[in-house]
A and B are shown apart, each in its own frame.
Chain A
Amino acid sequence: MMWFIGKRLVQGLITVWFIATATFFAMHNVPGDPLLNDRATTAIIRANLEAKYGLDKPVTTQYFIYLNNIAHGDFGISFAQENREVNDIIREHFPVSAILGILAVVIAAVGGILWGSLTALYRNRLPDYIIMFLVILGISVPSFVIAALSQLGIVTINSLLGRTFLPVAGWGTISHMLVPALVLGLTTMAYLTRLMRSSMLEIVNSDFVRTAKSKGVPPARIFARHQLRNAVLPVITVLGPSIAAITTGGFVVEIVFAIPGLGRFFVEAVQQLDYTVIMGTTVFYGAFLVFMVILVDVIYGFIDPRVRMN
């Protein structure tokens, strides 16, 4: 098991290095540079500044300086915001996105497993039809529309109750997190429900379930011990990519609900062409996603021994 984790970690590190390299060379080819300013910069001042920041060095040297900085966790200074380091921005806003994302993943996973098993148990009966209809709806409606509609819903509930039952936007308390996390997890939940349903249906017809039934094992026990534990495996495999999907979805939800998360800052940086912030958050997000996928793999390895062996 340790060898498996170690191998995956090394793969992850290589992937992060690849992301960082691609980001660096991609950004390096962008025309313009930070010293191009409205204010007149004479050639000598420019040369001095370039020497100071290492911009006169060959690209490969700059690349190694950049790698070295990243290895030390230094992403540089923002282009658009005065006196702010990219690290500060990440430190300040990433926890917000992380909490929101984790909550969304938990909601999506628990909901997907629950609804998926329910539809499989009630196959071709009313609960199945209702849930599968909602699933199709959840897959087909874009997240920003769901976000906007849920805000509308909150407003209606609040005005009906005559008090603030749930806040419409902002961040701070649990009640702020609930609706955005639900909206964020909804699409993933819909996909997981579908997946859970089909894997559950496959298991229902399997030999070991039939054997358990003929032995007279109570249905609840068959469900919990034999069906659920086996059917849940494919759902766990896609949790890694789901986390990536939820992160990108987080951008929209953070904008609509005015949540001060890293996603919103990333989008703002994109609109202001704040290169260092874009690069820093990209590499950071990339690394985060890579290691989340590894974490899921490791968890999967604990659950399913076949993965470790391979």
Chain B
Amino acid sequence: MSKLTAADFAPHSNEHHCHALSRPSLSYWQDAWIRLKSNKRALASGCLIIGLLIFTLLGPLLWSVNSSEQDLDQLSTPPGSARSALIIPDYEPWAGPTTTVTELELAGSATTQSVRLQWTSLPEANGHRVYRNLYPVGEEKAYGIPMAEFFDNNTLYFEDRLDLSPGIYYYSVVALGNNRRPATEAATIRVDVLRATTVDEAIAQGLVEEGEEIAVGDTVNIALHPLGTDYLGRDMLARLMEGARVSLFIGIFAPLLYVLMGVVYGSIAGFMGGKVDQLMMRFADFVVALPFLLFMILFKISFGIGPGESGIFPMLVAMVVLLWPATARLVRGQIMQIREQGYVEASKLLGAKSSYLILRHMLPNTLGVVLVTLTFEIPRAIFTEAFLSFIGMGVAPPTPSWGSMSNEGIKTMLNTPHELIFPALLISITVLAFNLLGDGLRDALDARMRNTE
């Protein structure tokens, strides 16, 4: 046995035997945030949503083109079209060829101002008919649209000023035989029409900076439309930004309001329990069964908004009034569960009041589920807005929304797909981003849903 010293009788420090916390203690939200951060898809979606919000809110500051202004020179122009325009002299009437003509040919240069054709009489012709086509004539002799007819051989020239846009045109002159019927003789010319504008027009449209001198023969750039224009010549980018405001406003505010309403309703029902709960939930069941579209119409009418007018506000009200029961049911279920938990019992024993129980224990514990519901309700609301605008019950023209823009774009889908693609793409990306973020949030916040996927 060793000798005991005074040091052995010193008070024992409890440092060594205590279970030290090896990791910092994390609150529910810190834990959720760490989980969310490790989820690449959810994080990317979150960035995308922030980008969309910037596009909507700050975009109009950078791109201040009026979304309802029509650029009649550029109707349904896809993005990336050539923008240069030649400055030419003012239009002067044309009195026919001044030089000798040997075949079907152009007089002067072909521009969007006018295309001047001159030709010599075709063999055995008693007159001529002029056609214009956007495609080559080909084997089947598709000459296109008849532009003019001349029933004698005196007039051997034609000036086309009808709705010319830059590009390739095929002009054909067909000989008219006896009885003014088209004969087989024909001549075709391929014409490359250049965009042209006059000095006055260029200044009037603001294509020339102040103080800059321009003269005939110069080229100027016509108005820039980064994402092209729609069928009325309105700038797509500006419209998409303005449409985003409508779509995201409805898409974010409506769910915020009706989820909040559902939370209040559901927590009251869940907390009260018994008869009150039964009654409240039965009423929610009825509201679920109510037809959404009918109430849309009703609200529109009761707000004094006609069939053709924009109905953002009635749409919001209809969504809030009719779509809250799903959240209410969810929150009620949660509250019912939490009510039976030990910590609530303990809190009650300590004399907590109802308001304290609800605010301190019940609502914070349902917040995760509510947040997840909210992110899933946002894409639904965006879809609903798009659907309503598509069938003409939502936002009415000229106010753009992504739904109404898609609706307009579908009509010209084959020729100018960009008018459908951009709004549809934005809807899809937004919905996708919110869905993925919702998945990530659910994994991070909802302990029971964890590890199921």
Q: Across the interface, do B298 and A26 meet the contact criterion of CB distance under 8 Å?
A: yes
Q: Across the interface, do B290 and A22 meet the contact criterion of CB distance under 8 Å?
A: yes
Q: Kindly provide the distance from the CB of B11 to the nearest chain A CB, expressed in whole angstroms.
A: 53
Where the two chains meet, the residues of A that have a C-beta atom closer than 8 Å to any C-beta of B are 15, 18-19, 22-23, 26-27, 29-31, 136-137, 139-145, 148, 152, 155, 197-198, 201-202, 248, 251-252, 255-256, 266-267, 270-271, 273, 278-279, 282, 285-286, 289-290
Name the B residues within 8 Å of A19 (CB-CB). 286, 289-291
Q: Which 6 A-B pairs have the closest CB atoms?
A: A140-B432, A145-B424, A18-B286, A140-B431, A282-B291, A282-B294
**A198: nearest chain-B partner, CB-CB:** B452
Q: Kindly provide the distance from the CB of A164 to the nearest chain B CB, expressed in whole angstroms.
A: 17
Name the A residues within 8 Å of B413 (CB-CB). 148, 152
**What are some 26 contacts across the A-B interface (CB < 8 A)?**
A23-B291, A26-B298, A27-B298, A29-B298, A30-B298, A30-B301, A31-B302, A136-B436, A139-B435, A140-B379, A140-B435, A141-B431, A142-B424, A142-B431, A144-B407, A148-B410, A201-B452, A255-B391, A256-B410, A267-B393, A270-B393, A271-B307, A279-B294, A282-B293, A282-B294, A285-B291
From B115-123, B362-370, B382-390, the one touching the partner chain is: B382-390
B295 at the interface (CB under 8 A from A): yes
Q: Across the interface, do B297 and A201 meet the contact criterion of CB distance under 8 Å?
A: no
The secondary structure that dominates the B interface is helix
Total interface residues on B, using CB and 8 Å? 39
Q: Kindly provide the distance from the CB of B334 to the nearest chain A CB, expressed in whole angstroms.
A: 19
Where the two chains meet, the residues of B that have a C-beta atom closer than 8 Å to any C-beta of A are 285-286, 289-295, 297-298, 301-302, 307, 379, 383, 386-387, 390-393, 403, 406-407, 410, 413-414, 420, 424, 427-429, 431-432, 435-436, 452-453
Name the B residues within 8 Å of A139 (CB-CB). 379, 431-432, 435
With A141-B427, A145-B420, A270-B297 given, can you name 15 additional A-B contacts, CB distance below 8 Å? A26-B295, A30-B302, A136-B432, A139-B379, A141-B428, A148-B420, A201-B453, A248-B293, A255-B391, A267-B392, A267-B393, A270-B293, A271-B392, A273-B307, A282-B293
Q: Kindly provide the distance from the CB of B36 to the nearest chain A CB, expressed in whole angstroms.
A: 19
Name the A residues within 8 Å of B453 (CB-CB). 197-198, 201
Q: Kindly provide the distance from the CB of A269 to the nearest chain B CB, expressed in whole angstroms.
A: 10
Name the A residues within 8 Å of B436 (CB-CB). 136
Q: Contacts A152-B414, A270-B293, A270-B297: A144 and B406 contacting too (C-beta < 8 A)?
A: yes
Q: Across the interface, do A141 and B302 meet the contact criterion of CB distance under 8 Å?
A: no
In-complex Cβ contact of B390 among A144, A198, A271, A285 (8 A): A144
Once bound together, how far apart are the Cα atoms of A144 and B286, in whole Å? 29
Q: Kindly provide the distance from the CB of A137 to the nearest chain B CB, expressed in whole angstroms.
A: 8
Once bound together, how far apart are the Cα atoms of A140 and B432, in whole Å? 5
Name the B residues within 8 Å of A273 (CB-CB). 297, 301, 307
Once bound together, how far apart are the Cα atoms of A273 and B300, in whole Å? 11
Name the A residues within 8 Å of B286 (CB-CB). 15, 18-19
Once bound together, how far apart are the Cα atoms of A266 and B289, in whole Å? 17
